[in-house]
């Protein structure tokens, strides 16, 4: 059940310690403590916060970018590893729900992922981006229908998506249909290509977060990365690349279920935390006007076909029959928090 009183939510707008998992874990815990001291009950981190977003895929050829691959793989984080446990412990110690964007390493593959950790330190979900966007596919694998899931928390019904998952109407409808009340939309920085590719900029993607709130009649917390001078130095070996990957690019926002902007947005180059108060009673007011999965729907005309089951790469066989219910049959193993 959602809280019966308003609570404070926090959206991080910051740069990770790029390609340094340990240092970024320490920064993560510090930001959790800062938000909790301010009174926040929920904090959300950007896409691929640990160990940083692989911007090199947008800057040059795969042959050039291969110099980063081994290091990125080594600095990725496991959903069940010690770093996740430390962040979960920080959530419990500070009585705050954490939604963490990170690069997940599972077996030999990497995934754009989000951990949802409740205020008691329990990991209630480890989701993956359903489909990596454009050149991201040279780095990341894909999630499946089990990653489009909304979860009960002490704050309300909470779900999460990454970046351009928000551009798929079917993804969104699957989430809305589960009575999502609080949505975390994680984003990278919006400074790629200096405005020469408008769809990658802040104007479009902030609007995407705002429309999600209006369509789903839910609160949207949208954290975003910053590009730091350190990141630019690591990634850009020419002036042309520096122009392609500008500094800053922050666009963290929080929206109410009527699309209203909540809190005072940070400057695009400002590192910090955006705070806003969430009053869950406002959802009922928005739903009364338009509920696209309820009274404002027409299932006799259009419906969504949705497969929410995890997809296994390998199944075991016993006596010639497929053992579809054996959780050990999946490889690589994936934790099931359902």
Q: Which residues are catalytic?
A: 47, 129, 163
Query: Which segments of 134-284 are extended strands (E)?
Result: 151-152, 157-162, 182-186, 219-222, 224-225, 253-255, 261-262, 272-278
Residue among 168, 34, 141, 27 at smallest CA distance from 87: 27
3 state SS of 134: helix
C-alpha to C-alpha distances, 149 to 37, 116, 129, 145, nearest whole angstrom: 30, 11, 12, 8
- What angle separates helix 169-176 from helix 202-216, to the nearest 10 degrees? 40
Cβ-count burial of 279 within 10 angstroms (0-12 exposed, 13-18 middle, 19+ buried)?
Answer: middle
Residue among 145, 139, 142, 32 at smallest CA distance from 88: 32
Backbone angles phi, psi at 90, to 5 degrees: -65, -35
Tokens representing 317 are 């066989």
């Amino acid at each position: 059940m959602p809280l019966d009183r308003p609570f404070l939510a926090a959206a991080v707008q910051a740069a990770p310690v790029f390609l340094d998992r340990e240092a970024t874990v320490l920064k993560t815990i510090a930001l959790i403590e800062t938000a909790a001291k301010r009174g926040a009950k929920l904090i959300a981190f950007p896409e691929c916060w640990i160990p940083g977003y692989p911007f090199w895929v947008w800057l040059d050829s795969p042959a050039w970018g291969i110099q980063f691959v081994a290091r990125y793989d080594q600095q990725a984080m496991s959903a069940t590893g010690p770093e996740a446990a430390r962040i979960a412990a920080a959530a419990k110690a500070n009585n705050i729900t954490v939604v963490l964007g990170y690069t997940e390493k599972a077996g030999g593959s990497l995934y754009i992922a989000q951990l949802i950790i409740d205020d008691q330190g329990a990991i209630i979900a480890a989701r993956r981006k359903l489909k990596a966007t454009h050149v991201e596919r040279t780095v990341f694998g894909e999630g499946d229908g089990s990653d489009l899931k909304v979860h009960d928390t002490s704050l309300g019904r909470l779900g999460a998506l990454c970046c351009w998952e928000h551009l798929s109407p079917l993804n969104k409808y699957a989430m809305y249909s589960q009575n999502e009340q609080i949505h975390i939309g994680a984003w990278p920085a919006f400074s790629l290509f200096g405005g020469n590719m408008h769809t990658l900029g802040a104007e479009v993607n902030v609007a995407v977060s705002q429309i999600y709130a209006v369509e789903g009649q839910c609160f949207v917390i949208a954290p975003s990365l910053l590009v730091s001078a350190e990141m630019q130095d690591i990634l850009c070996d020419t002036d042309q690349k520096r122009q392609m990957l500008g500094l800053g690019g922050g666009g963290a926002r929080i929206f109410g279920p009527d699309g209203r902007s909540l809190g005072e947005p940070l400057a695009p180059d400002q590192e910090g935390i955006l705070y806003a108060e969430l009053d869950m009673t406002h959802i009922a007011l928005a739903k009364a006007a338009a509920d696209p999965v309820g009274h404002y729907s027409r299932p006799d005309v259009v419906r969504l076909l949705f497969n929410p089951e995890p997809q296994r790469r390998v199944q075991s066989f016993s006596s010639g029959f497929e053992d579809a219910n054996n959780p050990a049959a999946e490889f690589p193993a994936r934790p099931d928090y359902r």
